[in-house]
Structure 1
Amino acid sequence: MLFDLPDDDILYQALMERDPSYEGFAYVGVKSTGVFCKLTCPARKPKRENVLFHSSIAAALEAGFRPCKRCRPMNAGLTREPAIDRLLDALEHDPNQKWSEKEIIDMGYDPSAVRRAFRRQFGITFLEIARLRRIGRSIDSLAHGAKVIEAQVNANYDSGSGFRNAIAKLIGVAPKNVNHLSYLKADWIETPIGTMIAIGDKRALYLLEFLDRKALPGEIVSIKKVTGSEIVMGREEPIDLIEEELGLYFAGKISDFTTPLAKFGTPFTNTVWDALRTIPMGQVRSYSDIARQLGNGKATRAVARANGANQIAIVIPCHRVIGADGSLTGYGGGLWRKKWLIEHERRMTHVQDNHE
């Protein structure tokens, strides 16, 4: 289940008291250092505004935190297979290494056995842990001022710059060659959770996606086909506006966006997207909830497809839609981002409520 932790105030008090009763059930991520710890960690306690609580090691890793070297949260628990310790030590020695089953075999282990062992111990496989560690380091480099796409997409692509160049080539033609053509403009926007690409014209925003979304090339082709336009690198007012509003959103200062959006989906798809924007900040809904809201409780699958077709990330908040059982479900930007965005908005709402 997604929200199964006590109130953050209770957990923070447990952290300050090093209460062992939450051992294995709650972990604290420290934003100022980028590490996550057990609540009993002997290290100096962080300020309240610098902590995020997680129900599992996997959730802490998905949020971009790395394990504390002092309390070693991933080493807790009963006696376990030596392969776990050896692989974790190798990961700690070189967290940037891109692991595959081949490397596991080269170390003398059966990938299937390793997969089962890690799932028993952590609820997540070793390869998933390694990938999340690389993503976390990429986020950390962005937070410290890195402006190149390699810092973010290196977690999933061999060449971040190559991927960025490929997208630029896919977008269209150089501005000097568009004398008589209708065209949209595109530019990169850096955020705390990765580089995004925004596409718009003078009137509205057509796309806002994370650059490492696998469906992005197809979405760009679709926009060009639907609009009959070429796309060039450049800026229009809606791109400037969404960049400003995203900065305020990630700073916790706004909960609504005013950037005008282009609508070119089907009538049903647009209805679903409109419904997504009615989900209050800090809350979530299931696909079936949205279907019932639209007056057709049997349209759950159609709602899910429309949700997945959303090309305006964050502004049209498809990240606020979860499974009927309360679990996280698919998100084109990655489940770790979905978890991050939900938690960010819950914190924003909590702060706003306390100020009222």
Structure 2
Amino acid sequence: MATDTLHDLFDLTLPDPATLYRALLAREATYEGRVYVCVATTGIFCRLTCPARKPLAENCTFRPTIGACIEAGFRPCKRCHPLQPAAEADPMIAALLAALDARPAYRFGEEDIARMGYDLSTVRRAFKRHFGMTFLDMARHRRLREGFETLALGGSVIAAQQEAGFQSASAFRAAFARLLGCAPGDIAGEGRLLADWIGTPLGDMIAISSPTHLHLLEFIERRGLPAEIARLRQGVKGALGIGSTAPTEQIRAELGAYFAGRSADFATPVALDGSAFTRAVWAELRRIPAGESVSYAEIARRIGAPAAIRAVARANGANQLALIIPCHRVIGADGALTGYGGGLWRKQRLLEIEAQYRTRPQQVG
């Protein structure tokens, strides 16, 4: 995700979720074009003035841009049409959105935009301004999401390929492998572990769980994700499928509360696979309160191994339970941000988000 959309993803100047929920219930026009509601139970996002039946507060998260809603995996509501104002204001946007609706599975490229008679840079700027993402990004998110959901619902790999709009099986396998590190046929169906897709304001995440424990939670752009998934597949002898479990649903709800500003507590049961030293580092990371940060050297001192700073850094990097084990709260001794598998821009945003929790008592995970 490009860093120039960073401040569109989570706006700390927005009113608190309770205020926005009251505005949703009252169908207030005050926040028209400034905030949208994403409903976890339906997978759609709406204007706050939407006439549809109102969801429960715990199923709602609020995002400041349409792009943030789409990147988090939500579809536009067919009753309040949140994309419509931009389309009405700009005939070019209207034409491109109509083309996307008419061919949702088509693999749009720059040549298609040019063929329709539009300037590529103009289209890019217009979509970024109105939606926080480009037209091609919007089309790609829709296609990949459709393919993943087809597999999650038990559809065949061929059906998922068709839903995702890939003309060849090899191209679909390659795109899927870049995302999850394995071909769709290797992960479809039932398994001892199940992978599911979770949308957040800072990008999509992959959760992998057994019926009782969460084994992995990572942002999909993490460079080491394919290797992490490969190790999990090896551990269960390839029995990795697609679907949801109770731990996945629990962490989905807890992430919703976290990004909505309601709680930084994570109580989902997790499986910790590491040496005694690594687990000691992870346990210490979980003791860092939201809104605070410490150095690698301080973590080493706290676990009684002050000389093991590099080993602490390695244990930090081996974490595959993002946010739950908050390795993003570890910074350099000079106060500078250090490496983060999800990207330094995301680490910065997580620390900014957690600043709101600084004065609140938090439970130790």
TM bin (shorter chain): 0.5 to 0.7
CA distance in structure 1 between the aligned counterparts of 2:146 and 2:61, rounded to whole angstroms: 18
CA distance in 2, matches of 1:315, 1:123: 24
Distance of 2:81 and 2:315 partners within structure 1: 39
Inter-partner Cα distance in structure 2 for 1:273 and 1:90? 48
- Report the identity percentage: 36
Match of 1:291 in 2: 295
Match of 1:313 in 2: 321
1:122 is the counterpart of 2:126: no
- Provide the C-alpha distance between the structure 2 equivalents of 1:142 and 1:10, rounded to a whole number of angstroms: 38
Residue 261, structure 1, aligned to residue 273, structure 2: yes
Note the aligned Cα RMSD (angstroms): 5.4
Q: Which amino acid aligns with 2:320?
A: I
Equivalent residue, structure 2, for 1:37: 46
Deviations 1:262-302 (A, max 9, x none): 149xx8x888755543355xx466xxx34388379xxxxx9
C-alpha distance in structure 2 between counterparts of 1:23 and 1:206, whole Å: 40
Deviates more, 1:306-315 or 1:50-59: 306-315
8 Å contact 1:65–1:136 — kept in the other structure? no
Partner of 1:53: 62
Moved more, 64-73 or 245-254: 245-254
- Asked if 1:190 corresponds to 2:199, the answer is no
Q: How far 1:65 sits from its partner (Å)?
A: 1.1
Letter in 2 for 1:312: Q
Q: 1:273·1:306 contact (CA, 8 Å) conserved in 2?
A: no
1:167 equivalent to 2:182? Answer yes
Describe the shift of the 1:83–1:270 C-alpha distance in structure 2 as closer, same or farther (beyond 3 A).
farther
Mapped to 2, the partners of 1:29 and 1:244 lie a distance apart of 21
Asked if structure 2 preserves the Cα contact closer than 8 Å seen for 1:154 and 1:160, the reply is no
Residue deviations 1:229-263, cap 9 Å, x none? x8772579xxxxxx764454346596153523214
- The structure 2 residue matched to 1:88, chosen from 97, 121, 124, is 97
Secondary structure, aligned partner of 1:233: coil
Task: Provide the C-alpha distance between the structure 2 equivalents of 1:206 and 1:271, rounded to a whole number of angstroms.
Answer: 17
Q: 1:166 to 1:132 in 2, by over 3 A?
A: closer
Report how many aligned residue pairs link the two structures.
294
TM-score when normalising by structure 2? 0.59
TM-score normalised according to structure 1 size: 0.60
Structure 2 gaps of 5+ residues are 1-6, 199-204, 255-264, 301-309
Cα deviation digits, residues 59-109 of structure 1 (max 9, x gap): 111221111233221222597442211111111222222222122122222
Trace 1:316-335 onto structure 2 (pairs within 5 A).
Answer: 317=325, 331=342
Counterpart Cα distance in 2 of 1:72 and 1:273:
44
Match for residue 21 of structure 1? 30
SS of aligned partner of 2:171 = coil
Give yes or no for contact 1:138–1:151 (8 Å, CA) kept in 2: yes
Q: What CA deviation, in whole Å up to 9, does each residue of 1:157-212 have, x standing for no partner?
A: 932499569738xx9xxxxxxxxxxxxxx96423253765689xxxxx99776888
Letter paired with 1:94: R
